[in-house]
Structure 1
């Protein structure tokens, strides 16, 4: 019993980091995933991680409560960075919706409970299937699994006020928009050409009601272009997964002061 009492504080820190990571990370943080599954999976993953690490002996005192806050911040920030990069898919869908004429149309996302663009939700579902197909969720879990190589349990501080950390987060934010632009550019570019052609047609044939013709034409063209460039979009989605893992690894380096 004494051994369990000695190792419990360190195990609790591991459990806090894992469960707080599941609060924000893609796929595992969705509302459709039962809370009991999240807690149970986090518990067993924490047990596996704790068995394989050389955990220090800790005492429950004032410093220990600061360590709990630090572990929760690490998990939440890692999950937030992963979620930020993955949100590029819905941002790309928002760009496409605006050009298609679906800018006012939003659907309820049952996974997050928030309003999301129509095409963004469609691309997000396909990307999640692609993520599961290539075992990307295993790589995401690896990110929290190997985080203790960079940030040990007994590290009592995080460089949250570091200039390099703020620049890194802003760079990740800009990278998300750049990837979203790459995903939406084929469809948005083609729809821009359609708008130009409709404008020329409206000037050439003033008696033609261009608004009645233009909206279904833009929708049809965008759907055709989506079918043509879907394989290219999945290549960009694979780039998103790679960027997400690289960004998480870089954030761990900054947290660990490496």
Structure 2
């Protein structure tokens, strides 16, 4: 007769619950997986499917009962680790959003906004367009598969244990926020420079011919120049995004190893 002890049941539950906490943390914040347009049930099913697929190949998991204080501590730690991994890649996507915000502001399209369910608020049209484009490039480069691969390797870099996590990884995650401003401004710099020259030229033209209506001719000119520079920038965007994604995955690995 088949008999199952409580210790065996706790070990089986721990073998699934502890990895699931880290995986759900990443799924809830990572690009593509954490999109609010995806139903929560589908994200939960994706997390369960990844857990079931990875569980047999994971390193030894401590047989700590889930209901104990140590078990709750491990669950919290694994959730935070997964959130940190997802936020690392989310920072890379935020650089494109910042580029779109800066371009919209300079082009005079800062008022052209609509509700973005991903950001949970009003987003500029150019920013939303660049975000969608970066998501498509991310999928074309198999970034979603690389995320799953990095998630599987994270259990080797940082095995599940009851020991407290270190603060170095969280400091590295906070410092990686500079990617948002540095990369976003650099990518938007050609558009900002062209529009700055255009605005200077319009200012000189208005001084030379005060009878011209600056608001009537300025907005179409700045909009045309801005859209033209945006089209020229898009042609060279894929290699830049690929380097950004590589930097994001490298930062993710550093964060996990330092935690």
Q: 1:73 aligns with which of 72, 80, 88?
A: 80
Q: 1:63 aligns with which of 70, 93, 104?
A: 70
Q: 1:149 aligns with which of 156, 159, 173?
A: 156
Tell me, in whole angstroms, the C-alpha distance in 2 between the residues paired with 1:66 and 1:49.
Answer: 22
CA apart distance, 1:155: 4.3
CA RMSD of aligned residues (A): 1.6
Tell me, in whole angstroms, the C-alpha distance in 2 between the residues paired with 1:59 and 1:175.
Answer: 38
The question of 1:134 aligning with 2:155 is answered no
CA apart distance, 1:105: 2.9
Corresponding residue of 1:91: 98
SS of corresponding position for 2:176: helix
The question of 1:204 aligning with 2:211 is answered no
- Aligned residue-pair number: 252
Tell me, in whole angstroms, the C-alpha distance in 2 between the residues paired with 1:193 and 1:179.
Answer: 22
- The answer to whether the 8 Å contact 2:29/2:86 transfers is yes
Tell me, in whole angstroms, the C-alpha distance in 1 between the residues paired with 2:175 and 2:204.
Answer: 40
The question of 1:11 aligning with 2:12 is answered no
Gaps of 5+ in 2: none
CA apart distance, 1:48: 1.4
Tell me, in whole angstroms, the C-alpha distance in 1 between the residues paired with 2:234 and 2:121.
Answer: 25
- The answer to whether the 8 Å contact 2:100/2:130 transfers is yes
- The answer to whether the 8 Å contact 1:10/1:153 transfers is no
SS of corresponding position for 2:235: helix
Corresponding residue of 1:54: 59
- The answer to whether the 8 Å contact 2:100/2:127 transfers is yes
The question of 1:118 aligning with 2:125 is answered yes
Q: 1:30 aligns with which of 22, 27, 35?
A: 35
Q: Per the alignment, do residues 170 and 17 of structure 1 end up closer, same or farther by CA in structure 2, a change over 3 Å counting?
A: closer
Q: Per the alignment, do residues 170 and 39 of structure 1 end up closer, same or farther by CA in structure 2, a change over 3 Å counting?
A: closer
The question of 1:251 aligning with 2:259 is answered no
Q: 1:232 aligns with which of 221, 230, 236?
A: 236
SS of corresponding position for 2:175: helix
Corresponding residue of 1:20: 25
Tell me, in whole angstroms, the C-alpha distance in 1 between the residues paired with 2:170 and 2:21.
Answer: 23
* CA displacement 1:1-51 (0-9 Å, x = unmatched): 444542211321001110111111111111111212111111111111111
* CA displacement 1:125-152 (0-9 Å, x = unmatched): 1111111111111112222111111111
Tell me, in whole angstroms, the C-alpha distance in 2 between the residues paired with 1:106 and 1:173.
Answer: 25
- The answer to whether the 8 Å contact 2:91/2:180 transfers is yes
* CA displacement 1:32-72 (0-9 Å, x = unmatched): 11212111111111111111123234121221111111011
SS of corresponding position for 2:191: helix
Corresponding residue of 2:190: 186
TM-score for both structures, normalised by structure 1: 0.92
